[in-house]
Amino acid sequence: MRRICVMGTGYVGLVSGACLADFGNAVVAVDIDETRVELLRSGEVPIYEPGLEELVDRNRESGRLSFSSDVAFAIQSSEIVFICVGTPSLPSGEVDMSFVHNAARTIGQYMEDFKIVVNKSTVPVGTGDEVEQIIRKVRPDADFDVVSNPEFLREGSAIDDFMHPDRVVIGAGSQRAMEAVVDVYRPLYQNDTPMVLTGIQSAEMIKYASNALLAAKISFINEIASVCEAYGADVTAVARGMGLDERIGPRNLFAGAGYGGSCFPKDVQGLAATARRGEVDAPLIEAIDTSNVRQRRRMVDKLHHLVGDFSNKTICLLGLSFKPDTDDIREAPALEMVASLIEAGATVKAYDPAAMEHSKQEHPDLICCEDPYTAAQDADAVVLMTEWNEFRNMDLPRLLDCAATNRFLDCRNIYDPHEMVRLGFEYVSVGRVSRSPGESDDTSSWMIPGRFSPIRT
Ligand SMILES: NC(=O)c1ccc[n+]([C@@H]2O[C@H](COP(=O)([O-])OP(=O)(O)OC[C@H]3O[C@@H](n4cnc5c(N)ncnc54)[C@H](O)[C@@H]3O)[C@@H](O)[C@H]2O)c1
């Protein structure tokens, strides 16, 4: 059992803290946001993440997990301090390191004996050295080691990702620190989870390089989707045919509205900025973000093509969060769609199972509805932006009855085009031939759509 302090109780800090407590460690989680700490202390979980509330409750009740605003006590009573604070983008694309730097200063200020400082935030290569210098400056005689332990969890499946990761990456500069952090992950080590034990710089790079490649895969299939549209090919069949090649793999090969969220956009930009700062010419890395920005714009253009001028139109959006099973709207493609529509004079009605409160704060003009059918009432088009499971099982004839027209833009390709047309929709999706009711479709009798779908992961 290790005594651990987790700095930051956001998506990563809270999930990591709860999971590390579940591994049997004694964890105290702190945050500079006192309201958040109070909420957590009163038994509430301020983010939507499947299974998190139960995990937090269980570990709090067992006494292994606690929340505090007393940072000095939390640091002094721990052997290992995990930094899990935000690293947002600056307008330049560079990473805003102020939260990490402040956390390092706080550690230096309060530490009294040997500490292992583990950076779990996603940070540019070289941050380990910066953290060391900051702590050293505040406390020149301090005894501590810095470790990089990037986190790969995905919102929506965060607990399972943390408990059953593809790998754990630990970058350390000393044997004592490496052994201590490996020990924290002992339950995973015993499960044969691969451990990548390396230097700090390499660990930092692994996270950035992984996210950039995953984002590139999405941008790549989105561009392929546009080429498919130009020549009548079906991107879902293309993705399946590609993904069965083991060197490519089926994951992250879904054409859609472009990637969003709090990680891919900022990490891709952060890596590009890191390359530029190191005077490295990296045109491929630079292009990932450009391609994604265009893809998001392409969705707005598709809708424009479908409904014409947006002014005085009513548009129904299904899904607002950047992906299903989260309330996170950071960089969500749906929010960009909302902004474009409202700016052009449209009325936007939306339904999302978890993200309406946050979205409304960002766009007060957004009309949030209690279900998809109310949102579709009198709409000039229905646009599916996020592939929540409940949208897969919607009563589509009822939706069609509610809307003022039969136009449907599916930005996530979750419906079968043949079926949508049979139901009476004018159906547009991404990288697949658009069809209207009455248009001849001589493949529908023998194509089995499910067999041509990509494997969704
Ligand atoms: N969200 C994800 O899916 C995900 C996945 C992997 C890695 N990451 C990385 O993990 C890091 C954290 O991401 P997040 O989504 O949890 O961020 P977040 O914004 O949800 O949470 C960060 C929290 O840190 C707190 N904080 C800031 N400075 C602090 C300080 N000095 N002391 C204590 N608390 C402080 C903030 O108040 C906030 O509650 C980022 O670097 C991110 O890139 C995120």
Please tell me the pTM assigned to this model.
0.92
Above 80 in pLDDT, residue 454? no
Residue 160's identity, in one-letter code, is D
CA of 97 to the centre of ligand 1 (A): 12
Residues 6 or more apart in contact with residue 383 via CB below 8 angstroms: 303, 315, 316, 317, 318, 337, 408, 409, 411
**pLDDT at residue 455, as a whole number:** 44
Give 3-35 pLDDT, tens digit per residue.
999 999 999 999 999 999 999 999 999 999 999
**pLDDT at residue 174, as a whole number:** 96
CA-to-CA dists, residue 28 to 25, 116, 124, 158, 215, angstroms: 10, 15, 27, 20, 34
State which ligand 1 atom lies nearest to the alpha carbon of 36: 39
State which ligand 1 atom lies nearest to the alpha carbon of 30: 33
CA of 66 to the centre of ligand 1 (A): 18
Closest CA to 406 of 439, 388, 434, 381: 381
Three-state SS sequence of 352-394: CCCCHHHHHHHCCCCEECCCHHHHHCCCCEEEECCCCHHHHCC
Reported as type and span, the H/E element at residue 243 is helix 235-243
Pocket test for ligand 1, best of 7, 11, 101 (most atoms within 8 A of CB): 11
Q: Does residue 293 contact residue 215 with C-beta atoms inside 8 Å? A: no
CA of 106 to the centre of ligand 1 (A): 16
Q: CA 52, CA 57: separation in Å to the nearest integer?
A: 8
Give me the half-sphere count of Cα atoms (radius 13 Å) on the Cβ side of residue 125. 17
Give 65-91 pLDDT, tens digit per residue.
999 999 999 999 999 999 999 999 999
- Is 263 catalytic? The answer is yes
Give me the half-sphere count of Cα atoms (radius 13 Å) on the Cβ side of residue 197. 15
CA of 262 to the centre of ligand 1 (A): 10
Would you give the distance in Å from CA 456 to the centre of its chain? 16
Above 90 in pLDDT, residue 268? yes
Confidence of residue 452 (pLDDT cuts 50, 70, 90): very low
Q: CA 114, CA 194: separation in Å to the nearest integer?
A: 28
What domains lie within the chain, and their CATH numbers?
A: 3-198 (3.40.50.720), 231-452 (3.40.50.720)
Ligand 1 site residues (CB inside 6 A) read 7-13, 30-33, 36, 84-87, 99, 102-103, 106, 121-122, 151, 153-155, 262-263
